[in-house]
C-alpha cells in the first residue's frame, strides 16, 4: 500500500507543496524516482539507503517506487531526502503511517543520517501553516522557520531522531522563535560635513520612499551619503522584517534563526548582469529583491550595462520583479529605494579640474542613463567638492538619529491619512486624494512642468516629492513653496 508524505519545494521565494508517494513492490530490489526529478533528486537514492542503514534499519529488499507529485513541476535540490526516507520506512511499516501523515518533512540527509539545513525555511513554514501540518526541519534552519506566527516547527539533528519521535520513543519540542535586536550602525549621517542640499534630498528619499540620483566628481561624498540612507529610514516592522528575511532565506543568505533586523543595503558592482540584478535561471532572487524594504545603490551608474539598467523599469514602478525563464515564471518582491551615483563626465573632473572631455563625450557618457530611467528618479542632485577648511574644520552634520525622528514623523502623517504605501509609491488616484493643490500650487506646477518639459510621469513625481516636503514640514496641504522646492530636484543637465 502506497504511503504519502507531504513536503515542499521553493519556487522563487514561495514554497509549493510536494506529495512524496512511496510504494514497495515485490520485484527485484531497486529504487525508481519519478515525477520530473532533477539529477540531485535522483542521486538521493544512495544517500537515503545509506542514511536508513545508519539508523540500524534494514532498507527494503523490494522495488521502491517514489512518485513526486505534481509530476509537472520540476523537483530540484536535496530537500526531499527526508520525506522520501520517511515514506520508505512508513511503507515498510517501520514508522506509523498515521504519524507521518501529520507532518511536512523537509531536509537533506548525509550518508550517516545527519540532517543538513535547506534554503527557504520561512517560506516552508508559511506553507506548513497553510496546510495545518507540523513542519519537521533540520535543527540548523528550524529556528528561522519558527519566526512565522502560527507555524509549528520541530527541529531534529538526524533521521534517527525523527524516526524515534514518530514512533513515540522520543520527544521533540517545538522550536521557539528568538528575535534579534538591531545592532547600532557603525556609520552616521553626522560624518557628512556640508552638502546641505544632498542631505535634504536624502531625508526626502527616506521620508517618502523616493528614488535618488547624485551627480558629482569623485570624492565629493556620493557613496558616503548613500551608505547612510538606511540609518535614517524607519526601523523595520515585524512584517517587513519577515518579508525581507524570507527573500534572504530563499537566496540562502540567512544563517541561524534570526530575522533580518536592519534594512538591507545592496551595492552590486557595475559588472553585474541582468540575471544578477533580477534573478537567474535557477529562479533565485537577484540584487533588486535582496534589497526589498531597503536600499539598492548603483555606484558609477553609467558604467552599468544598458540592459541591466533598463530591466529596473518595472520594479521601480510596480515594486515587484516578474521573472520569466525556461523553468517557469515567478514574482519577487522588490519594494526598494534606488540610489544612483554618477560622475559628471568620463574622467570625473568636469567643472572642478583639468577635464579633457569634449561636450560630445560628456553627453554620450550621461546619455548612458536613458530618459525612461531618469524619468523614474524623483530626486536629481548635483554635488560639489568641499574646500579643505570646511572638510577638516567644518562642524559635523546632524546625526542620523535626529533626522530619523523627522522621517518617522513624516511617515506617521502618511499612515494617518490612510496610506499603505509611502508617497513615492502612490498610484495616480491615491496621489490625487492626498496631494490636492491650491490655485498657487497648481500654477507653480503647471509653469514648472512646462519650463522643465516634464513628462506626465515626471510631473506626477514632482507632486509626490512636494507631498513629502509638506509632510516633513508638518503641513496638512501641499503649498506653492513645496512645489517649487520639488521642482528644484529635477535634472538640469
C-alpha to C-alpha distance for 262 and 184, rounded to whole angstroms: 9
Percent of the chain predicted with pLDDT > 90: 47
460 near 424, Cβ under 8 Å?
no
pTM of the model: 0.86
8-state DSSP, 396: P
pLDDT band at 281 (very low <50, low <70, confident <90, very high): low
- Residue reference for cell 537515503: 48
Task: Work out the average pLDDT over 190-208.
Answer: 90
Residue 38 has a pLDDT of 84
Where residue 375 falls (left for φ over 0; alpha for ψ -120 to 50; beta otherwise) is alpha
- Residue reference for cell 567643472: 351
Contacts of 180 (CB under 8 A, 6+ apart): 258, 259, 261
306 near 270, Cβ under 8 Å?
no
Residue 275 has a pLDDT of 87
Contacts of 72 (CB under 8 A, 6+ apart): 36
Task: Work out the average pLDDT over 87-106.
Answer: 93
Cell numbers representing residue 318 in the block: 510596480
Residue 472 has a pLDDT of 94
pLDDT, greater one: 233 or 12: 233
- Residue reference for cell 504519502: 4
Residue-wise pLDDT tens digits, 439-471: 888 899 999 888 888 888 889 999 999 999 999
Task: Work out the average pLDDT over 274-281.
Answer: 83
pLDDT band at 360 (very low <50, low <70, confident <90, very high): confident
Residue-wise pLDDT tens digits, 297-326: 999 999 999 999 999 998 998 888 887 766
Q: Name the average pLDDT for the chain.
A: 88
Residue 255 has a pLDDT of 67
pLDDT of 47 higher than 70: yes
- Looking only at the bridges linking them, the beta strands covering 134-138 and 153-156 are parallel
- Residue reference for cell 535618488: 212
Residue 181 has a pLDDT of 59
Q: Which of 68-77, 249-258, 359-368 comes out lowest in average pLDDT?
A: 249-258
Residue-wise pLDDT tens digits, 1-11: 689 999 998 88
pLDDT of 175 higher than 90: no
C-alpha to C-alpha distance for 121 and 8, rounded to whole angstroms: 10
C-alpha to C-alpha distance for 237 and 418, rounded to whole angstroms: 17
Domains, in order of start, for the chain: 3-167 (3.30.230.10), 189-397 (3.40.50.300), 426-493 (1.10.8)
pLDDT of 493 higher than 60: no
174 near 389, Cβ under 8 Å?
no
As a residue count, the chain comes to 493
C-alpha to C-alpha distance for 343 and 346, rounded to whole angstroms: 7
Query: Cα 356 to the chain's mean position, in Å?
Result: 41
C-alpha to C-alpha distance for 318 and 321, rounded to whole angstroms: 8
Contacts of 304 (CB under 8 A, 6+ apart): 270, 272, 298
Residue 468 has a pLDDT of 95
Residue 298 has a pLDDT of 95
Task: Work out the average pLDDT over 109-125.
Answer: 91
Residue 180 has a pLDDT of 59
Residue 299 has a pLDDT of 93
C-alpha to C-alpha distance for 84 and 93, rounded to whole angstroms: 14
Amino acid at each position: 500500500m502506497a504511503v504519502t508524505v507531504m513536503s515542499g519545494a521553493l519556487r522563487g521565494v514561495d514554497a509549493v507543496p510536494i506529495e512524496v508517494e512511496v510504494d514497495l513492490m515485490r520485484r527485484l530490489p531497486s529504487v525508481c524516482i519519478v515525477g520530473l526529478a532533477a539529477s540531485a533528486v535522483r542521486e538521493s537514492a544512495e544517500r537515503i539507503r545509506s542514511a536508513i542503514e545508519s539508523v540500524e534499519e534494514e532498507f527494503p529488499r523490494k522495488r521502491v517506487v517514489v512518485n513526486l507529485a505534481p509530476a509537472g513541476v520540476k523537483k530540484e535540490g536535496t530537500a526531499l531526502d527526508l520525506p522520501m526516507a520517511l515514506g520508505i520506512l512508513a511503507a515498510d511499516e517501520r514508522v506509523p503511517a498515521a504519524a507521518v501523515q501529520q507532518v511536512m518533512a523537509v531536509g537533506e540527509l548525509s550518508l550517516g543520517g545527519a540532517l543538513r539545513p535547506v534554503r527557504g525555511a520561512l517560506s516552508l513554514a508559511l506553507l506548513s501553516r497553510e496546510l495545518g501540518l507540523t513542519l519537521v526541519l533540520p535543527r540548523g534552519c528550524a529556528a528561522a522557520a519558527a519566526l512565522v506566527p502560527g507555524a509549528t516547527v520541530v527541529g531534529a539533528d538526524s533521521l534517527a531522531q525523527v524516526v524515534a519521535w514518530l514512533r513515540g520513543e522520543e520527544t521533540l519540542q517545538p522550536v521557539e522563535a528568538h528575535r534579534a535586536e538591531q545592532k547600532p550602525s557603525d556609520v552616521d549621517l553626522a560624518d557628512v560635513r556640508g552638502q546641505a542640499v544632498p542631505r535634504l534630498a536624502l531625508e526626502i528619499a527616506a521620508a517618502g520612499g523616493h528614488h535618488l540620483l547624485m551627480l558629482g566628481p569623485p570624492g565629493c561624498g556620493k557613496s558616503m551619503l548613500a551608505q547612510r540612507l538606511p540609518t535614517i529610514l524607519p526601523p523595520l516592522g515585524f512584517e517587513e522584517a519577515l518579508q525581507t528575511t524570507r527573500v534572504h532565506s530563499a537566496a540562502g543568505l540567512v544563517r541561524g534563526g534570526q530575522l533580518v533586523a536592519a534594512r538591507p543595503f545592496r551595492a552590486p558592482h557595475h559588472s553585474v548582469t541582468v540575471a544578477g540584478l533580477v534573478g537567474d535561471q535557477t529562479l533565485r532572487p537577484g540584487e533588486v529583491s535582496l534589497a526589498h524594504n531597503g536600499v539598492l545603490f548603483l555606484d558609477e551608474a553609467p558604467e552599468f550595462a544598458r540592459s541591466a539598467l533598463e530591466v529596473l523599469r518595472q520594479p521601480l514602478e510596480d515594486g515587484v520583479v516578474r521573472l520569466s525563464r525556461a523553468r517557469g515564471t515567478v514574482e519577487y518582491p522588490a519594494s526598494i529605494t534606488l540610489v544612483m551615483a554618477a560622475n559628471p563626465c568620463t574622467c570625473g573632473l568636469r567643472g572642478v579640474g583639468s577635464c579633457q572631455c569634449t561636450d560630445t563625450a560628456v553627453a554620450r557618457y550621461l546619455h548612458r542613463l536613458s530618459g525612461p530611467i531618469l524619468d523614474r528618479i524623483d530626486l536629481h542632485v548635483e554635488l560639489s567638492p568641499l574646500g579643505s577648511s570646511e572638510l577638516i574644520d567644518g562642524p559635523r552634520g546632524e546625526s542620523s538619529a535626529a533626522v530619523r525622528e523627522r522621517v518617522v514623523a513624516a511617515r506617521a502623517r502618511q499612515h494617518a491619512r490612510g496610506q499603505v504605501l509611502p508617497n513615492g509609491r502612490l498610484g495616480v488616484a491615491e496621489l490625487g486624494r492626498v496631494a490636492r493643490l491650491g490655485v498657487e500650487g497648481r500654477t507653480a506646477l503647471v509653469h514648472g512642468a512646462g519650463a522643465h518639459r516634464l513628462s506626465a510621469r515626471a510631473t506626477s513625481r514632482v507632486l509626490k516629492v512636494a507631498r513629502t516636503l509638506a509632510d516633513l514640514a508638518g503641513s496638512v496641504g501641499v503649498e506653492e513653496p513645496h512645489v517649487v522646492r520639488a521642482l528644484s530636484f529635477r535634472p538640469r543637465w
